[in-house]
Structure 1
Amino acid sequence: MKVNYECASCMLRQSREAIEHAVDDDEKRMDVTLDVLTFIEKNFKKNTRSNKLGTDLHHLIMKKTGNNDPYKVLREEGNSVAEKLIPSIEEMIQKNPTLENYVKAAVAGNIIDFGALDQTTDMETLIKKQINKPFIINDLDKLDSALTKANTILYLVDNGGEIVFDKLLVKKIKEDYNVEIILAVKEGPILNDALMQDAENLELYKYATLITTGAASVGIVEDYISIEMTNLLNSVDLIISKGMGNFEGLTEMTIEKPVFFLLSTKCNVISNEIGVPLGSSVVIKKNLN
């Protein structure tokens, strides 16, 4: 996806928050802010890929502040919020353990996104509200059919915290479908995205082969991911993609296999791109070849 005029103000907000998390000294914050403004002035142009630009911006902040993981505390907080909610969500799902309800839980977890939302957002309240929403676009029947026929799938996780909800869906898929699951996390810190340690702590290796994308990027950025990841995108039978960053990146690529996007639309640009109201839960099948 290409940048929209609204992306500029969002990137400035994200930059301020990242800088504040990365360093305490106001003089240093000012210096890095000036670097950010120079970067945006030089690089924010029409037809620029949004998540590649966001990735480069966050790496600039990490380099200039000397802090390679500004969102570490928020990622851990996201995991804590999710783990507190899991018992009540599992109880709710068990009353009607359909694929749809497991997907609803996974999409509700996508709310835990300190890149798209203000850092003061009450995530717990939002998640409880989101999980009861119907899907505005619902391609679950297509997902069920594709899973039934598939031998291998690639599951692209998104945020810390959210990955706790992903575990519920991954386990469901493993138990109900005869499929090999490859689950990919980020190679290194970027925003509050899930890392290998998060996946290992949740023992996701019991249900999936754990790998990284080969990059610390906002979603999938074609220029930065590993050769292994590029090959997987075109060799597995289907891809399940969580979150907006992966949507931004994958829709800029040519991919031979069907992609199922599971996300909550947390910004106007993504909402308009998909054609749904802000705050919508969606399950969308796209062919990107």
Structure 2
Amino acid sequence: MKISYECGPCFLRQAREAMDLSTGDELLKMELMEDIFEFLHDNFKLGANSNSTGSAMHNMIKQKTGCRDPYHKEKIEGNEIALKYLPDVKKILENDDSLENYVKIAIIGNILDFGAFTLDDDIESVIKDSLKKDLVIKDIEEFEESLKTNDNVLYLVDNTGEIVFDKLLLAKIKEYGLNITIAVKSEPILNDACMEEALDAGLDEFGEIVEIGAGTVGYVDSEISDEFRKIFDAHRFIISKGMGNYEGLTEIDLSEKEIYFLLCSKCGTISKDIGVNLHDMLLFKK
């Protein structure tokens, strides 16, 4: 996906937040912000890739501060919030164990995104409100048909915290008899799930966990490893969680894939691109 003018303030907000999480050195943060202004001056332009631009900016911050995982504490907080609400969502599934409800709850987990919300947002209230909402786009019949007619699925996870809710959908998918491959980031970026967090959450109970070979914001096709490219190419059926993966995957040819996007639209640019409202929850086939 290409950047829009709205991405500019978002990049700067994320930069400030990541710097504050990485270091208390005010002079270093000033130097970094100067570097980021220079970088955006050279690279923030019509036609630029949003994921590549954001990834480069975050890597600048990590390299200059020496902080490999700025969002480490926030990832722990995300898991704690998800675990707090897990009993509530399990009660919902006890009353209605439809596939649509499992999908809805997995998408609600996508709200736990500190790249889209600020650290001061009342995320818990957002989750409570979202539990009451319906999916705006729900290609549920096509999705279930894909579950019934495929032997394998590649599940691209998104955020730590969110993966706690993903486990419920993964368990439902297993009921259809599919072999599941679960893809995570190779290096920390924002609060995205890496191998350590995926194993801690117990995702390996549902399938093989593989790394994409990069630590990028969302999916960046030019950055994935040769090993993961073979895995990606071998899968016809793909489930993609979150905005970052949507932004990256819509940049490549998916005509031979059965790919479903599960996300909560948390920014104006993506909402306009898909044709939905801010905070709408979606399951759609691309």
TM-score bracket relative to the smaller structure:
over 0.9
Matched with 2:157 is 157
Aligned to 1:133: 133
Is the CA contact (8 Å cut-off) linking 1:235 and 1:257 kept in structure 2? no
TM-score, with structure 1 as normaliser: 0.97
The SS at the match of 1:160 is: coil
The SS at the match of 1:218 is coil
Query: How far 1:202 sits from its partner (Å)?
Result: 1.9
Q: Which amino acid aligns with 1:249?
A: G
Aligned partners of 2:45, 2:80: CA distance in 1, in Å? Answer: 38
Partner of 1:67: 67
> Could you tell me how far 1:87 is from its partner in structure 2?
1.1
Aligned mates of 1:259, 1:29 — CA distance in 2: 40
Partner of residue 274, structure 1: 274
Alignment check: 8 A CA contact 1:151 1:237 kept: no
Offset of residue 234 of structure 1: 2.4
Q: Secondary structure at the match of 2:6?
A: helix
1:222 aligns with 2:195: no
For 1:108-123, list aligned pairs within 5 A: 108-123=108-123
Following superposition, the deviation at residue 237 of structure 1 comes to 2.9
Task: Give the aligned partner of residue 210 of structure 2.
Answer: 211
Match of 2:7 in 1: 7
Runs of 5+ consecutive residues of structure 1 not aligned to the other structure: none
Q: Please state if 1:182 is matched with 2:181.
A: yes
Deviates more, 1:158-167 or 1:204-213: 204-213
Residue identity over aligned pairs, in percent, reads 44
Equivalent residue letter for 2:170: V
Q: Deviations over 1:144-173 (max 9, x none)?
A: 001100111000000010010001100111
User: What is the alpha-carbon distance in structure 2 between the residues aligned to residue 195 and residue 79 of structure 1?
Assistant: 13
Note the C-alpha offset of 1:130. 1.1
Amino acid at match of 1:227: D
Partner of 1:57: 57
Map 1:259-270 to 2 at 5 A: 259-270=259-270
Give me the whole-angstrom Cα distance separating, in 1, the residues matched to 2:52 and 2:229. 16
How far apart are the structure 2 equivalents of 1:207 and 1:115? 27
The residue aligned with 1:194 is 193
The secondary structure found in structure 1 opposite 2:136 is: strand
Does 1:85 find its partner at 2:88?
no
Q: Choose 223-232 or 20-29, whichever is displaced more.
A: 223-232
Alignment correspondent of 1:246: 245
Report how far residue 40 of structure 1 moved: 0.6
In 1, the alpha carbon distance for the partners of 2:142 and 2:227 equals 27
- Write the distance in 2 (CA, Å) between the matches of 1:196 and 1:95: 33
Amino acid at match of 1:135: L
Amino acid at match of 2:190: L
Shift of residue 124, structure 1, vs aligned partner: 1.4
Offset, 1:131: 2.3
Matched residues, number:
285
Structure 2 residues without counterparts, runs of 5 or longer: none
Q: In structure 2, what residue type is equivalent to 1:245? A: G
SS of equivalent to 2:251: coil
Show the counterpart of 1:41: 41
Segment drifting more, 233-242 vs 164-173 = 233-242
TM-score, structure 2 normalization: 0.98
